[in-house]
Amino acid sequence: MVRVPVNRSRFSLSQLVGVARRRLPGRARAPEQIGPGLGTFGGVFTPSILTILGVIMYLRLGWVVGNVGLGGTLLIVTLASAITFLTGLSVSAISTDQQIRTGGAYYMISRSLGVEVGGAVGIPLYLAQALSMALYTVGFAESVERVFPALDEKTVGIVTTLLVALLALRSARTAIRAQYFIMGAIALSLLSLLLGSPLAEPVSEATTAGVATEPFWVVFAVFFPAVTGIMAGVNLSGDLRNPTRSIPIGTLAAIGVGFVVYMTIPILLASRADQASLLADPLIMRRVSFWGDAILLGVWGATLSSAVGSILGAPRVLQALARDRVLPRQLGWLGKGTGEEDTPRNGTLVTLALALVAVYLGNLNIIAPILTMFFLTTYGVLNVVAGVERFVASPSYRPLFTVHWSLSLLGAVACTWVMIIINPLATILAAVLVIGVFVWLQRREMRVAWGDVRRGIWLALMRTSLLRVRDMPDPKNWRPHLLVLSGSPMRRRHLIDLASAFTHGRALMTVAAVVPPDAVSLDRQSQIEQRIRDHLEKRGVQSLVRVVSAQNPFEGAHRLVETYGLGALAPNTVLLGDSRDEAHRETFADLIRFIYEAKRHVVIVRPGEEEAFGEVTDRPIAHRRIDVWWGGLKGNGGLMMILAYLLQTSLVWRGVEVRVKMVVPTDSAADDAEQNLTALVGRIRTLAVPEVLVSGGRPFPEILRESSRDADLVFLGMAEPDENFADYFDDLRERAAGLPTTVFVLTSEQIGFGEVLR
């Protein structure tokens, strides 16, 4: 097959509804696809207009006029059509930006908002379309049974369902050709109505004296499904010769023609029949038409055309879901197509079976509102897709048909509003199903080969947030944004676990590693970064990952502390493990001094000598107690209290007891110290337990080891680094010898932690 490149015609709102719009000159024209497939009229306009001009037009439009009058009816038609029109604009924009393949609305949504959102909407949409086929054939059977009482309604419904499915199995082209005859029947019925005359025998007022009229919004809810159906053409996207051109033109043309028809018929009915007759007779159009039986042909044609549209669209959505592996692997055979048209015969047979069960059960009135909710959910999400894509304005989003983002989001709000008006309970049920499918797909952690707009949304929000967050102390909103110098997180897992507990999933955390530049290429460096990221995701740790190259870990740590971060979101706290290598004694002390001088808080984790929290083990550990050795609220004491509180309120450490310990020289000093410490702990509301210890002449290291040997974690403050800091840190290590996992804390005092704890 040879594709001939030609100039791709441009079209916009100005060409279709008369609103002037100009484009920037010089933009290259994309080649139009020429080849086998359905055209605009047969592939989009015909199925869409036949679904729009459905049974509500024949059986309920007179009832609408009888309830709210001509003016109210025209207002209802205008409001309902406006919502559909806004959705049509969104569909047109999306379809001129991307090559639409099999799956229609599902394909559009999944390629913009991701496969999870696409599947969450696509699966309910498929069920709605499959069951809609049964709804239409049951309606057809009911109308036939009223004209021919000798026929069995259920038998007629089953036979009709089988015939419609066989027509679809033959090919989409054949089904579309059959719809031309149906369109002819509908056109004949409308012509007969146009040439008709006023009602000869109006219904007497006594006949309808007990019939109460319905309020405006109830009537609106009954009428609104009449203007839906634009997905009938969109769902055939994979069978179109040029979906990028056909979907906008065919969809908007169907909406426009439907609007004209729905604005004309109420005028004819209001001028030919009185209110009582309009309320009493659902088939009032038959009585005011030139040839009444033509209305029956229209009713039958409308139901059959809607059934054909459903059996053509539903299997193609199912086919796309299977090909994207949204469905379980065992259902992959539903993605296969046959013939030159890629007809989804497997999907059609499954849809037929589902429809036959529904037809056999008969009454679909209970699920009909939920089906409408699924369609409206799809329309709403399509509006969100177009609005968000336009608002984010990624360079990849370049639709030939441009719509302002506010119009699309207005359409989304309108769809939600209509759903609530029609049936609040059905709205809730539909939302529960959609959310349930979304959560299920998220847990499967599906990976796809295409990108989506979600990254653009987060980038836009991140940019806005970064520009609004000022780089100045803010005690009320302070959190430890951690830079974790962990090296390999697989070997120093305790650092990752502790950092994750500190952040609560609400502060920023970056796991950083340093690799030698000579041994690791840039590609290998990226692979290491991705491997660490995958490892953290499997452990449920939310963290950024940064891998840098340097001659040694200390040089890399200097570089990270000095340069890592973006605006006000640079890490304010550096967490690292203790170095026990005597050869690195001075270098490690210099690193701590550098971090402190860079105005970063320092948290050093020294693992305990016995197997406990600090050891890499898969054995679950029951945390019982955290000891915080108090030196005052200012400086290190305030930061240690905050970190202990964050651990105490984290999921892993929840319920652990935090003891604030203070040493005084004599018993007489203990009473005042205990009173002050108890008041302080109560004021800062951290649920900590104060404990005052009397030294009695004993050295502090002895008291420390004796009092905290049974703790799970011990917090100790560090002095401000000076030129003798290496000696001081050696002494601090000696003090902590024999203790469980110990955390040394040094605050740079950028912020008053007393204000945070107030």
What's the pLDDT tens digit per position in 465-477?
777 776 656 666 6
Indicate whether 685 pLDDT > 80.
Answer: no
DSSP 43: I
* Residue whose tokens read 């970056």: 510
Average pLDDT across the chain, whole number: 81
Residue pLDDT, tens place only, 147-183: 888 888 889 989 999 998 888 787 667 777 777 888 8
Nearest Cα residue to 427 out of 439, 438, 415:
415
Name the residue type at position 732: L
On the 0-12 / 13-18 / 19+ scale of CB atoms within 10 A, 612 is middle
Q: Which pLDDT does position 111 carry in this prediction?
A: 75
pLDDT at 36 over 80: no
Specify the pLDDT at position 756. Answer: 56
Tell me the C-alpha distance between 230 and 248, whole Å: 11
pLDDT digit string (tens) for 625-643? Answer: 999 998 776 778 888 988 9
Determine the average pLDDT of the residues in 552-579.
88
Which of the listed ranges 45-59, 105-119, 516-530 does the model predict with the highest average pLDDT? 45-59
Name beta bridge partners: 576.
485, 604
Average pLDDT of span 496-512? 88
Interval 667-671 mean pLDDT = 85
Say what the pLDDT of residue 612 is: 47
Instruction: Answer positive or negative: Cα dihedral of 62, 66, 67, 73.
Output: positive
CA angle 716, 594, 520 (to 5 degrees): 105
When pLDDT is cut at 50, 70 and 90, the band that residue 191 belongs to is very high
* Digit-coded pLDDT (tens) for 233-255: 777 777 788 888 888 999 999 99
What contacts 685, CB < 8 A, 6 or more positions away?
none
Residue 614 has pLDDT above 60, yes or no: no
Is-contact 87 403, C-beta < 8 A? no
**Residue 121: band (very low, low, confident or very high) from pLDDT cuts 50, 70, 90:** confident
Position 21 confidence tier, pLDDT thresholds 50, 70, 90: very low
Instruction: Show the tokens assigned to 646.
Output: 């964050």
Q: What is the pLDDT of residues 54-77, one digit of tens each?
A: 878 888 899 999 999 999 999 999
Four-residue CA torsion sign, 577, 581, 582, 585? negative
- Nearest CA to 124 out of 407, 394, 433, 391 is that of 433
The mean-pLDDT minimum among 16-30, 277-291, 693-707 falls in: 16-30
Q: What's the confidence (pLDDT) of residue 368? A: 63
587 pLDDT more than 70: yes
Confidence of residue 456 (pLDDT cuts 50, 70, 90): low
Helix (H) or strand (E) holding 239: none
Q: How many other β-carbons are positioned within 10 Å of the β-carbon of residue 485?
A: 24
Q: pLDDT band at residue 452, thresholds of 50, 70 and 90? A: low
Better-scored residue on pLDDT, 34 or 344: 344
Predicted confidence (pLDDT) at residue 11 exceeds the cutoff of 50: no
**634, 658 contact by CB (below 8 A):** no
